[in-house]
Every structure is written in C-alpha cells, then in structure tokens.
Structure 1
Amino acid sequence: MGLDELNDDVTKAYSNLDDPVELDLDRETRTELAMLVAVFGTDDVSELIQRGVHQLFRTTVDTGDMDFQLRGAYDVTYDEYLSGMTYDEMTGQDQYPQRDDERRYQM
C-alpha cells in the first residue's frame, strides 16, 4: 500500500461519514460525557464530541502513533500524507536506478 491508497481510503471514509453521526454510548462513556457536560456547562453534546475527536487526533499525531499506524498499514508517514509525496520522492532518491553490486567493479 502507499500514498495513493491512503488518499483513496481517507476520501472514501470522509464520504461515508453521515451528518449527523449516530453513536451508541456505553455506560462508562455516558457517565464521562455527562461529567463533561456539567463541567463545561454546555447543552451541546456534539461540541464535546468534536473536542474529543480533535484531542484524540492531536494526541495520536503528537505521540507518533499516527506515523506508526500509517507506516504499518500504508508504508507512509503523516508528513508524507500532508505533503502528497514520499520522502524518496522529496529527496529524489527514486530517480536513480538501483546499483548492480555484482557488476559494479567490472570493466
């Protein structure tokens, strides 16, 4: 897999997200969400869920877990995804043919 497959999967996932998204909350999540509603003094639960997604995303990027997951599944990093090209493409390493070590010193 690579950068093109990741782009396709992100686009597909984005188009599959319904607006609004329905959630089934377990008891623990419901209790935690109720606490957050009380603490932040808001009646807009969707705002808290959006904040939660933003926080999870930021934490995943900051801890390197995003790169770890992307490298394992797509063989790219988040920086490569953002730039739209792999490190090899950025540095030009994919432009040169591979060396043939067996024939390297033959005259």
Structure 2
Amino acid sequence: MSLDDLNADVKDAYSALGDELLVDLDRETRNELAMLSAAFDTDDESELVRRAVHALYRSTVDTGDLDFHLRQGYDVTYDEYLSGMTYEEMTGADQYPQRDDERRYQM
C-alpha cells in the first residue's frame, strides 16, 4: 500500500461517516460518559464524544501509535501523509538508480 492508497481510504471513510454516527454503548462506556457529563455539567453528550475522538487522535499521534499503524498498513508515516509525499520523494532518494555494489570497484 502507499500514500495514494491511504489518501483514497481516508476520503472513502470520511464520505462514509456522514454527519451523524450511532454508537452502541456498553455499561462501562455509559458510566464513564455519565461521569463526564456530570463533571463538565453538560447535557450534550455528543460534544463529549467529539472531545474524546480529538483526545484519542492526539494521544495516538503523540505516542507514535498512528505512525506504527500507518507504517504497517500503508508504509508511510503521519508526517508523510501531511506533506503529501514520502521521505524518499522529499529527499530525492527515489530519483537515482540503485548502485550495483558488486561492479562498483571493477575496472
């Protein structure tokens, strides 16, 4: 997989999500959401869910988990995704032919 594949998958997932998302809550999640609602004094649980997604995303980026999964699935990092090019493309390493080390010192 590649950077182009990742871009296509992100676009597909984005369009598939739509504006609303129905989520089934288990007992533990319901309890935690109720605690957060009470602590933040809000009746809008959807705002808490949005914050949770942002917190998970930030944590995943900060710890390197996102890079780990992107490297496994797409062979790119989050920085490469943001820049729109791979490190090889950034440094020009993909522009030169591979050296033939066996013939390198032959006269």
Query: Which category describes the TM-score, using the shorter chain as reference length?
Result: over 0.9
Misfit runs of 4+, over 2 Å: none
Partner of 1:36: 36
* SS of corresponding position for 1:20: coil
Q: What residue is the counterpart of 1:8 in the other structure?
A: 8
Aligned equivalents of 1:85, 1:4: Cα separation in 2:
9
Q: Percent identity?
A: 74
The CA RMSD measured in Å over matched residues stands at 0.7
Question: Aligned AA for 1:2?
Answer: S
Q: TM-score, normalized by length of structure 1?
A: 0.97
Q: Secondary structure at the match of 1:21?
A: coil
Letter in 1 for 2:94: D
Task: Please list every run of 5 or more consecutive structure 2 residues that lacks an aligned counterpart in the other structure.
Answer: none
Unaligned stretches of 5+ residues in structure 1 = none
TM-score, structure 2 normalization: 0.97
> 1:18 Cα deviation (Å)?
2.6
Query: Which letter maps to 1:32?
Result: E
Cα deviations across residues 26-72 of structure 1 (Å, max 9, x unaligned)? 00000000000000000111100000000000000000101111111
Residue type of the alignment partner of 2:63:
T
Alignment of 1:61-76 (within 5 A): 61-76=61-76
Provide the rounded CA distance (Å) in 2 between the counterparts of 1:8 and 1:81. 12
Letter in 2 for 1:78: Y
